[in-house]
Amino acid sequence: MNLIVVAAIALGSIGLLAGLILFLVAQKFKVYEDPRIDEVEENLPKANCGGCGFAGCRAFAEACVKSETFDGLFCPVGGNETMNKVANILGRAAVEKAPEIAVVRCSGSPQLRKRTTEYDGASTCAIESALYKGHTDCQYGCLGHGDCVLVCNFDAIHINSETLLPEVEEEKCTGCGACVKACPKHIIELRPKGPKSRRIYVSCVNEEKGAIARKQCEVACIGCSACQKACKFEAITIQNFLAYIDPQKCRLCRACVTVCPTNAILELNFPPRKVKQEGETTTEKTE
């Protein structure tokens, strides 16, 4: 018999035997995957932003299917609408969650927080923060290189060319938290959007004593406790010479805003305050 034919038959036999062995091994170690994972993933935003705490939408879908409840499981990009779809697929009750948005807790523009040094290295907040305290006397303030901008998949945050501070676009922000993780100074926080997108928060993270903080930045919180005393809802705490407003307790009355001596407390999306005429008494009401 021709040697070529013999070789072809031998090789073919080896190939068939190898294929059979691979088939048997594949059957032996085959991993069953719940088809609902594909269905859940199909209804997710496919942003793969990691805001849910998992490495992408596929991993989140697997977690939803395998978990008995939705405790600790929420897609910030899709929000309650997406979670209701997932709940319907899995035959469970969805957990409603108030939408969140990123807020920048620093108002130290160059006019209010003077530069004392010049940084001449890689233009990233992470690297500058690792090398030294920053280009101003405030070691807590924003460095302005835009690490938060680079990690945002939704084009929702940009650096203002005048203030050199990040600004969040409410219509685009999904509350995924990528910018929060990227900021080495921890000045970005996720907070509830609030009714009619109204929010009140302390735009400062400086933990120095009052006189030092005020010298470093004109709009720094000095821990004077005036806001805490003005709050009737016990929503404000003072720790490490820094005030913090609990969004769960805050009733948006704005009493704290008016008493802050450094204008460190911001009020967003509120109607203009009524100007009280001489001899007239008015009461403010938050809708």
**What integer pLDDT is reported at residue 285 of this predicted model?**
40
User: Which tokens belong to 284?
Assistant: 């403010």
H/E segment holding residue 192: strand 188-192
Residue pLDDT, tens place only, 160-205: 999 999 999 999 999 999 999 999 999 999 999 999 999 999 999 9
For CATH 1.10.15.40, list the domain ranges present in the chain.
36-90
Give whole-number Cα distances, 261 to 74, 226, 258, 265, 266, in Å. 39, 8, 8, 10, 12
Contact 269, 198 (CB under 8 A): yes
- What pLDDT, on a 0 to 100 scale, did the predictor assign at position 287? 38
- Residue 10 pLDDT exceeds 90: no
Q: What is the pLDDT of residue 286?
A: 43
Chain region(s) in the chain for CATH 3.30.70.20: 100-268
Confidence band of 125 (pLDDT split at 50, 70, 90) = very high
CATH 3.90.180.10 fits 100-268, yes or no: no
Residue position matching structure tokens 């000045």: 187
The 10s digit of each residue's pLDDT in 63-91 is 999 998 888 899 999 999 999 999 999 99
**pLDDT, tens digit (0-9, with 9 covering 90-100), for 228-273:** 999 999 999 999 999 999 999 999 999 999 999 999 999 999 998 8
36-90 CATH fold: 3-methyladenine DNA Glycosylase II; Chain A, domain 3 (1.10.15)
